[in-house]
Amino acid sequence: HRITALPPQAAVPVLAAFLMGLGVVMRVYASLKQREAKKEEFCRFVQDLPDVLSIRCEGPPPAQWAMAATSGTAVEGKGAEAATAAAEVMAARYDPQGVEQKWYDYWQDEGLFKADAHSDKPPYTIVLPPPNVTGVLHMGHALVDTLQDVLIRWKRMSGYEALWVPGTDHAGIATQTVVEQRLIAETGKRRKDFERDEFLGHVWQWKEDNEDRIIEQLKKLGCSCDWSRKRFTMDEECNVAVRALFKRMFDEGLIYRGDYLVNWDPVTQTALADDEVDYEDQDTSLWHFNYPLEEGEGHLTVATTRPETMLGDVAVAVNPKDERYAALIGKTVKLPIVGRSLPIIGDPFVEMDFGTGVVKITPAHDPNDWEMGLRHDLERVNIMNPDGTVNENGLEFEGLTMQDARAGVVAKMKELGFLDKIDPHKNRVGTSYRSKAIIEPYVSKQWFVKMDGFKQPLIDAVKEGKVNLVPANWDSTYYNWIENLRDWCISRQLWWGHRIPIWYNKEDPEKMICYAGEGQPPEVAEDPDAWVQDEDVLDTWFSSGLWPFSTLGWPEESADLAKFYPNSTLVTGHDILFFWVARMMVMGEYVMGELPFKDVSLQGLIYGKSYWRPQEGGGIQYVTPEEKKELDSGKDIPGVESKWEKMSKSKGNVLDPIEIIDTYGADAMRMALTSSATQNRQIDLDRRRFEDYQNFTNKVWNGTRFVVMNLTLSSADLMEGLDEALFTLEDRWILSRLNTVIRDINVSLEGYLYDRAAKDSYTFFWDEFCAYYVEVSKPVLFGKVGDEALQKNKQKLLLAVLVTAIRLMHPIAPYITEEIFHLLKGQFKDLQPTSADPYSADLVDALLAKACIVAPFPRVIREEDISGEVEGEFQYMQDVVYAIRNIRGEVSIPPSMATDLYVEGPAEQLERNQAIVESLIKIADVQVNPASMPEGPQASAMVGEMKLVIPIPEELQAKEKARLQKEKDKLTADIETMQKRLSNKGFVDKAPEQVVAKARAELADLELKLTEVEAKLQ
């Protein structure tokens, strides 16, 4: 009906578009039906058909369609054929499921992740923080690994020999615990019910069965690691490296064995290093016990947070400056329950204002007491078994857990009359970062690395800028930790791990052999019954500390080691700055004589939003997963409260990266994570961010589809270059913005400002390229404005900007950009390098690349095209467009309705660029400084000194009058309220001067607005 109402010259091209669209619809319908697509998918395609065919109300379709319709022949030329082919290839909506695996397989099959140690390119190296071999990808992995991939892809495209070394960690405690629990469930047998080799066989099998899971998840994320170099912290090469380093440090006296008070995990029954202990404040008590003096009358009252350890007390201590107790130093007290005599010693460590100023000393169960025991040569009485129960030194409490013994000791002291009082107290309690068991100080034989000699080099490395912590606000935390560094306990009472390469002589255990070779030392092989190997294994962080160079072949002098050490950057969570980063620095400088990396990019921890309902009588009930999805999407459910918390399955706030990828696509997740990497210590993340970036991927797809559908260019056209004499303001503006965003993204990535790089690529493509440049170009593309030369020039520039934008986004969103890159590359065969102009040269060079992943990353193409003057003039036109749209919106003029525009004042810029306004807004006629302005109802706005006036169409006048009257009534009421406030003498006299001045200014503003509204009503 609408076509027949048109004159013939307009009906023909519209009919041609309709028929072409119908052909596309039928082909897509057949394709969807063949793969049994749902009806909704087909309907979505039909709804988006205007975008597919670039049909807009404001103009006819491209001129070549009209020529085809009038001549009755097919459109000729490779460009038109490519456009038609693209209509069939580019679906109405981006489908990541059909793209991601295809391109990952392609990258791998073509060897595009592999690095060459013999190339002349400058090296860029990252080693992947190895995830646990039996683990699964969590959102923290996804964040850190995405950012590493962003850097690697960026450097690879920038001409570096980029190596990203992947691998997995054997995770001693975690893996052994998982396997042992599985064996208990399946066989009823614990680890020590097996022979060591038999148990380790089960662990190795578990590793082989499960390692591929997390590797495949990393691939699904898009990680472009060199998988041909994949390593494992217990592979043969790492075993050789660990033994070699241990022996070197042992021979140089840096590794030693001795009795030491360690952090003991009674669940896994192993020692932990200081930084493997998590601390939390708990509400507990401070118990006051009376210890009777052995000579004369009276007693000393000691205050303790751990009553059960009194069973191992060997002294009581006071500060020698404390006048209350100075005279008692050298005397003794009787230890209740046990009956042991305890000397009263003086030590300045005792805080006079803590508790009673008297403390009990238990060197075997407190680190401060341990140090005091060394100073005063006190004996050590251990009261605990390795499993956390009380031993024979605990007398009647033997066999109880330490917690049960606490209750028993307190009850006994009360019964004996020695309990003075109990005060509430908040105590800092250490727990195992693995098993969550309460840590018990415990004396045992352990292996240690002497750290004193490494403290100052570690501090100097950061202070002198040899290693940069990013962000730098971590420096002070780092210094504080290093300054308080103690010797590193590296032995673990486990079976799974690098067994300590020490053999003891059975008759003389102080005689030992350290051996770095494979198997047994020759002396042991000659007399195996005389020797026994140490049962313990090395701390997992010991082998991980070698990761930057052991993965490159050390101790062999390999080509990889020569080319790629030191690494360039380490990207990791801030929570393992001390677990891992500092230790790699120690090992790297000690072994290689050079720190292992220049920059450390530290990331925040991801928090999820928890939702719950308060329960009657106390407690909370977390919402269901279905409700959480609704709440994450913005739905309000009455009675539900929320807050951001560390992700926890029990709280229901965990986001599974694989489920997010399956729902939104890998690119959407990567962009969401990259935009969240703000250098803050906490990253708040929910589903809405992934939804936002899924919408962006569709915008990228649809924006590309529009450009592709309007291309009629050949390869020769691209090599011919741009005619810069035809450039309009929007052309010069988009080139200024393009060069600016190229510069800014490179600077952001260089400074590890990932969020800014993501934001800039997002803003440029959506808000500048699509929202303005593409829209302003449509009249030229549709043949409404200009000739064929202008149309071709516009197409070339659109294509050049698009290909550059796609490459800028590739490190962050690799899949969709690779798909688009090949769609564009496939349209232009037989390209040859060109020097016609820098933009055409850059475009052709890019399309000649094998793939987007190895295409050149954009660098500023022409610095002089960055123009504040051009951007200022275009911004002025944007302000004009915004003002006109605002006017039309206020009076409810439909977007499809054309209106006249009257202009008063300086309008030279508007007159020069009137086509920009007309391409974005329905304008019937523009009158600049007419002899007389239109009469009747009108709406207006000011842009600088220029007044824009739009007559209100007659059919909308009544509606506008009602709107203005409503606005007048509101302003009148607001003025009355403000006048009453200002007429209140109490307010004027007592309120601060600035508050009164602000109120007066608000009144003046309201009165001015009322005057304007009344003028419009007249």
The per-residue DSSP string of 46-72 comes to HHTHHHHHT-BTTBPPPHHHHHHHHHT
Pair 337, 412: CB distance under 8 Å: yes
Q: Which residue has the tokens 């952090």?
A: 263
Length of the chain as a residue count: 1018
CA distance 664 to 577: 32
Q: Which of 278, 234, 265 is nearest to 542 (CA)?
A: 234
Strands, DSSP E only, in 493-626? 502-505, 512-514, 531-533, 537-538, 569-573, 599-603, 605-614, 620-622
CB under 8 Å to 235, separation ≥6 — which residues? none
Predicted local confidence at residue 606, as pLDDT: 87
Count CA atoms within 13 Å of residue 255 on its CB side: 20
The CA-CA-CA angle for residues 109, 816, 107, to 5°, reads 10
Pair 759, 765: CB distance under 8 Å: no
Q: Retrieve residue 295's tokens.
A: 């000579």
CA distance 534 to 945: 87
Q: Retrieve residue 56's tokens.
A: 């807009």
Q: Which residue has the tokens 């509430």?
A: 424
Predicted local confidence at residue 24, as pLDDT: 52
Handedness of CA 650, 653, 656, 660 (dihedral sign): positive
| DSSP state letters, 109-168 | HTTTT---TT-SSPEEEEE--PPBTT----HHHHHHHHHHHHHHHHHHHTT-EEEEE-EE
Strands, DSSP E only, in 798-921? 899-904
Handedness of CA 662, 667, 672, 678 (dihedral sign): positive
Predicted local confidence at residue 173, as pLDDT: 82
Q: How many CB atoms lie within 10 A of CB 121?
A: 15
Low-confidence ranges of the chain (pLDDT < 50): 1-7, 9, 28, 30-79
SS3 of 469, please? strand
Q: Which of 599, 277, 255, 271 is nearest to 454 (CA)?
A: 255
Strands, DSSP E only, in 714-787? none
The CA-CA-CA angle for residues 197, 203, 205, to 5°, reads 105
The amino acid at residue 432 is S
CA distance 595 to 463: 14
List C-alpha distances in Å: 402 to 128, 276, 302, 309, 393. Answer: 41, 21, 20, 9, 13
User: 610 - beta bridge partners?
Assistant: 643
Pair 717, 708: CB distance under 8 Å: no
Predicted local confidence at residue 273, as pLDDT: 63
Predicted local confidence at residue 843, as pLDDT: 97
CA distance 1017 to 968: 9
Pair 650, 436: CB distance under 8 Å: no
For residue 523, report the phi and psi dihedrals to the nearest 5 degrees: -65, -35
Q: How many CB atoms lie within 10 A of CB 457?
A: 15
CA distance 843 to 825: 10
Q: Are strands 341-346 and 605-614 parallel, antiparallel or unpaired?
A: unpaired
Predicted local confidence at residue 17, as pLDDT: 56
Q: Which of 811, 666, 690 is nearest to 749 (CA)?
A: 811
Q: Which residue has the tokens 């009453």?
A: 980
List C-alpha distances in Å: 41 to 420, 668, 690. Answer: 77, 20, 21
Pair 65, 20: CB distance under 8 Å: yes
CB under 8 Å to 678, separation ≥6 — which residues? 604, 755
Q: Retrieve residue 947's tokens.
A: 């007044």
CA distance 781 to 712: 10
Q: Are strands 468-470 and 599-603 parallel, antiparallel or unpaired?
A: parallel
Q: What is the DSSP letter of 546?
A: T
Predicted local confidence at residue 57, as pLDDT: 35
Predicted local confidence at residue 56, as pLDDT: 36
Q: Considering only CA atoms, give the Rg of the chain.
A: 38
The reported pTM is 0.78
Q: How many CB atoms lie within 10 A of CB 528?
A: 11
CA distance 862 to 842: 11
CA distance 214 to 138: 10
CB under 8 Å to 543, separation ≥6 — which residues? 170, 233, 234, 238, 241, 242, 497, 498, 550
Q: Which residue has the tokens 């987007």?
A: 852
Predicted local confidence at residue 77, as pLDDT: 41
Quote the distance between the C-alpha of residue 336 and its chain's center.
Answer: 56
Q: Are strands 605-614 and 682-684 parallel, antiparallel or unpaired?
A: parallel
Bin 95: left if φ > 0, else alpha if -120 < ψ < 50, else beta.
beta
CA distance 366 to 443: 10
Pair 285, 424: CB distance under 8 Å: yes
Bin 601: left if φ > 0, else alpha if -120 < ψ < 50, else beta.
beta
The amino acid at residue 416 is L
Predicted local confidence at residue 83, as pLDDT: 55
CA distance 194 to 197: 8
